[in-house]
Chain A
């Protein structure tokens, strides 16, 4: 056939082809990069626009009520729509109290569960248990609410509330008469609802602690618990705050389970063993039969709830930021 092609010629030919190919690819790649950057920026911008639009429109709907009530919208606990009195203090209070109870119970429980899964549990048990905990997050909140009312209330909430007021009743927050349908009851069910999210996030946080840190502690003669306290927890603080905040966000906004368990009484009472009310429960319960002004007031309550969540999130962010600074 034709004369043999020298290896050098072959390699030069293929190298120039490769060169051209590479150049083309880079050009294409660069164009795709620009496109991708533009798309993501657009998506981010869209989220911000939707958020701003929501804040503006809801505030706009509620504006007449904000005007007529003034500051007493948030400082008054008198909620009488028929008389045009809209004070949401009792609901704000109930939202904060139930969420606080939920955190007090859920954070230690979640950290315990995830520390157990990451540090203690035998390997074969870790996957299944973690999966089961995560699955709890998939249960619809109305199921939690109904289960709370029909199972947990008679089995645990009512007896526990009575026990607390019997033994610790001298402290105002546990004063009787005790009811399972109360801030306490709603808080406990909320706690169960937010354990999955806090524990699955903190599990990741604990897992991310470098093995070198653990070995450093063990090499100093630390027991497992001393290692956790000395090496794992300090590295995880910021992450734990983050996980807690996501749980808190869910607790603050939770509607149906709280509505079923809180007792729907618009009062600001010191005792957590008495019925109360929350913003989300108020909106869910009364939106249907509210008069036009009442609807504006309910939307206003929603705006306040949104403001609370934003403020708490910002506070948390600052806390995390200061932790990282140190």
Chain B
């Protein structure tokens, strides 16, 4: 066992204590503390017993074969599963120590702190400017909107490409530009975390590299959780990696995702502890 894994495990126990008591004694407190998380769709299990921590100003990658519940997991972080009819979430998701699924917590408030970027670029059929301003407007932003739009677009590395067409429809942009616009739109709400569900899977290789570079930039200010089924991408960009895998119950005809291994990205890819992780990262299946 190596140092990182040890510290990680200590961190988990520390945070578990921390959910009632003080924050862990060392390092920064987790942004997310997930304990025993499970999701059912229409009564059928899709994800079971996931426990992991997301650290501030780090990129946490969720990898695994298609259908293993990566999207399901990331949607738990900002309560997007609430929007899916029949979805039920059990277990705990603590955001800075606070249970976001507790009674009385408004998902709208949660989502204003935790931004999300989707697999398919989904700008609104509005101008570039209005796309970026949308979130700030509904949040009652009082400052200089022009300045906020420019700042957000700059941070999303898109400003130079769109500054002359702010009033043009966002749908006229290329796919890669649209995705960076979606990132700018998420940033404009000034969130604390950005969730990305396969943000580059619909993009060409060059646009993908731009998004990956951008993530490294954004990491300075935000905590990022990214789903990807591209292992190289996870290895390139992330600090920690969670490997999910599908477990099958032949008798009951059911399948669900489980967290096989969670740790430092370098460990997951070079010194995996679990045989399934090793097989997956070495490309033997999935």
Contact = CB atoms under 8 A, between A and B. Distances in A.
Given A231-B124, A326-B169, A222 B108 contact: yes
B178 to A, nearest CB: 11
B85 A212 contact: no
Given A212-B122, A216-B122, A234-B125, A221 B186 contact: no
Contacts of A226: 138
Contacts of B80: 215, 218-219
Contact of B116 (A219, A223, A234): A219
Interface string B106-119: 00110110011010
Contacts of B83: 214-215, 218
A214 B85 CA distance: 14
Interface string A201-216: 0000000001011111
Contacts of A213: 122, 124-125
B122 A234 contact: no
A217 B118 contact: no
Contacts of B124: 213, 216-217, 230-231, 234-235
Contacts, number: 66
B91 interface: no
Given A231-B124, A235-B125, A218 B111 contact: yes
A258 to B, nearest CB: 38
Contacts of A220: 111-112, 115, 134-135, 138, 185-186, 189
* Interface residue range, chain B: 20 to 34
A80 interface: no
Nearest to A212: B122
A231 B122 CA distance: 10
Nearest to B82: A218
A322 interface: no
B186 A219 contact: yes
B17 interface: no
Contacts of B120: 212
Contact of B115 (A123, A219, A230, A326): A219
Interface in B77-124: 78, 80, 83, 85, 108-109, 111-112, 115-116, 118, 120, 122-124
B52 interface: no
B182 interface: yes
A324 to B, nearest CB: 10
Contact of A216 (B78, B108, B109, B118): B118
Interface string A183-197: 000000000000000
B248 to A, nearest CB: 29
A221 B118 contact: no
B78 A219 contact: yes
Interface in A222-244: 222-223, 226, 230-231, 234-235
A221 B189 contact: yes
A123 B123 CA distance: 28
Given A210-B122, A221-B139, A223-B108, A216 B182 contact: yes
Contacts of A219: 78, 80, 111, 115-116, 118, 186
A189 to B, nearest CB: 36
Nearest to A222: B138
Interface of B: 78, 80, 83, 85, 108-109, 111-112, 115-116, 118, 120, 122-126, 134-135, 138-139, 169, 182, 185-186, 189
Given A216-B185, A218-B83, A219-B111, 7 more contacts: A215-B80, A215-B116, A219-B80, A219-B118, A221-B111, A222-B111, A326-B169
Q: Which 7 A-B pairs have the closest CB atoms?
A: A221-B112, A220-B135, A219-B116, A212-B122, A221-B111, A216-B122, A226-B138
17 contacts: A212-B120, A212-B122, A213-B124, A215-B122, A216-B124, A216-B182, A218-B80, A218-B83, A219-B186, A220-B112, A220-B115, A223-B108, A223-B138, A230-B124, A231-B124, A234-B124, A234-B126
